Chains A and B, each alone.
Chain A
Amino acid sequence: MIQAISQLGASCLANVAALGRASMMLAQALWFIPTRKLLRDIVRQLYVVGVLSLPIILVSGLFIGMVIAFQGYSILVDFGAETSLGPMVALSLLRELGPVVTALLFAGRAGSALTAEIGLMKTTEQLSSMEMMAVDPLRRVIAPRFWAGVIAMPLLASMFNLVGIWGGFLVGVEWLGVDDGSFWSIMGASIEFGQDIGNGLIKSVVFALAVTWVALFNGYDARPSARGISQATTRSVVYASLLVLGLDFILTALMFGS
């Protein structure tokens, strides 16, 4: 019994310590004056986390939009309200699925890659040797990857939404025969820039911060061994996904709750 309690205490302490280390890492990585070199590195990392994530994001967006249109149609048609398919597809994408699914896919595609890359750089002493060359790996390695993640995610989410709405249009209008005009016009009338697009964007920026931070920290904090890297990668994806879902609940409650 006492052992169980002390174990609980130990794991709490370990978690708090990890949170502290993670905050220190982020603070040290970001607290400096940006240089041209940083911008160039951000561009390079944008390619890795952004451009390379594009195919999976676009394909998923298309399919998810199409599936919502199918499901939504079968429910709405019972009420004779199938013209509301447009807003249903658009709102579920803009408010929830766009930011959340993009973040989850991003965690799996780019986040795990970041963790593994940095974990491996640590294991092979590349970070250490950089430090001995008087180059701060936090600034040189962590900072550009962090900014690239934060920039890429909202852009990816926007593309996801657009492709998803298009997918919904394909299924709803082209296939199931919802009226073309009312699909777009009712959608247009019921979506609002601040409430829907703005809040969706805020969500995806918050998710971007969370996912990139978790991924980078897990790589940076990985135990320097093959097993350590594989654990860190798994942990990165699991923690990032849970964090995204939890944050989504909190943000949704704050944004749409009252």
Chain B
Amino acid sequence: MKVNKLELTVGGFVLLGLAALLVLSLKIADSQFSGDGPSYTLYARFDNIGGLKPRSPVKVGGVVVGRVEKIELDSDDFVPVVTLKMFERYGYFPETSSASILTAGLLGEQYIGLNPGFIMEDIESLEAGATIEDTKSALVLEELIGKVLFSLTEK
């Protein structure tokens, strides 16, 4: 078959472009192209969410196991309710797990650190739609300073 040089270069050009796009999606964006897989929803109530935002990660020991889907305010008792999208591939966590809002580094963004509780026979897992009971709020710098000052004056 006669190969047209022009068509060949154009074909190469298009392939190169698509390959670049593919590398960007798969390698650079850390294969989030394939999505996070199936997920289930958990809720967590915090007194103060600090700088948490939708899409902030939920981490267990540094591993991202889910993301914040949305943040709402419970209109009955005015407590923020955070909806978490948990990845099913990491399984379900025990009921005794606790969630706290932590900061990555000194100035980094905030994320939810999930501390899995002990797995025992009589303790159930957090099923889809369950609420994490044991939560620690974000540390707010002003409150922290207030506490320190208070404890200093106590002495």
Residues of A within 8 A of B (CB): 43-44, 46-47, 50-51, 54, 79, 81, 90, 94, 151-152, 154-156, 158-159, 161-162, 165, 185, 187-189, 191-193, 196-197, 201
How many chain-B residues does the 8 Å CB contact rule pick out? 24
Contact of B13 among A46, A154, A196 (CB under 8 A): A46
CA distance A51 to B29 in the complex (A): 26
* B77 interfacial contact with A, CB 8 Å: no
Contacts of A188 in B (CB 8 A): 27-30
Contacts of A151 in B (CB 8 A): 14
Contacts of B21 in A (CB 8 A): 154-155, 158, 197, 201
Q: A162: nearest residue on chain B (CB-CB)?
A: B20
Q: Do residues B28 and A187 form an inter-chain contact, with CB atoms below 8 A?
A: yes
Q: Do residues A51 and B28 form an inter-chain contact, with CB atoms below 8 A?
A: no
Ranked nearest first, the 3 interchain pairs of A and B with the lowest CB-CB distance are: A155-B17, A188-B30, A158-B20
Identify the stretch in B4-12, B82-90, B113-121 within 8 Å (CB) of chain A at 4 or more residues. B4-12
Q: Do residues A156 and B17 form an inter-chain contact, with CB atoms below 8 A?
A: yes
Say yes or no: A50-B25 contact (C-beta < 8 A), given A155-B20, A156-B17: no
Contacts of A193 in B (CB 8 A): 25, 29, 32-33
Say yes or no: A155-B10 contact (C-beta < 8 A), given A165-B28, A188-B30, A191-B30: no
A-B contact pairs, 16 of them (CB 8 A): A46-B14, A154-B21, A155-B14, A155-B20, A156-B17, A158-B21, A161-B20, A162-B23, A187-B28, A188-B27, A189-B64, A191-B29, A191-B30, A192-B29, A193-B29, A197-B29
Q: Do residues B13 and A43 form an inter-chain contact, with CB atoms below 8 A?
A: no
Q: Do residues A43 and B7 form an inter-chain contact, with CB atoms below 8 A?
A: yes
Contacts of A191 in B (CB 8 A): 28-30, 32
Residues of B within 8 A of A (CB): 6-7, 9-10, 13-14, 16-18, 20-21, 23-25, 27-30, 32-33, 55, 64, 105, 107
| Shortest Cβ distance from residue A81 to the other chain B in the assembled complex, whole angstroms | 8
CA distance A193 to B27 in the complex (A): 11
Q: Do residues B13 and A54 form an inter-chain contact, with CB atoms below 8 A?
A: yes
Q: A51: nearest residue on chain B (CB-CB)?
A: B13
Q: Do residues A159 and B10 form an inter-chain contact, with CB atoms below 8 A?
A: no
| Shortest Cβ distance from residue A192 to the other chain B in the assembled complex, whole angstroms | 6
Q: Do residues A51 and B10 form an inter-chain contact, with CB atoms below 8 A?
A: yes
CA distance A68 to B30 in the complex (A): 21
CA distance A43 to B23 in the complex (A): 24
Known pairs A162-B28, A187-B28. 12 more at Cβ < 8 A? A43-B7, A47-B9, A50-B14, A94-B24, A152-B13, A159-B16, A161-B20, A191-B30, A193-B25, A197-B24, A197-B25, A197-B29
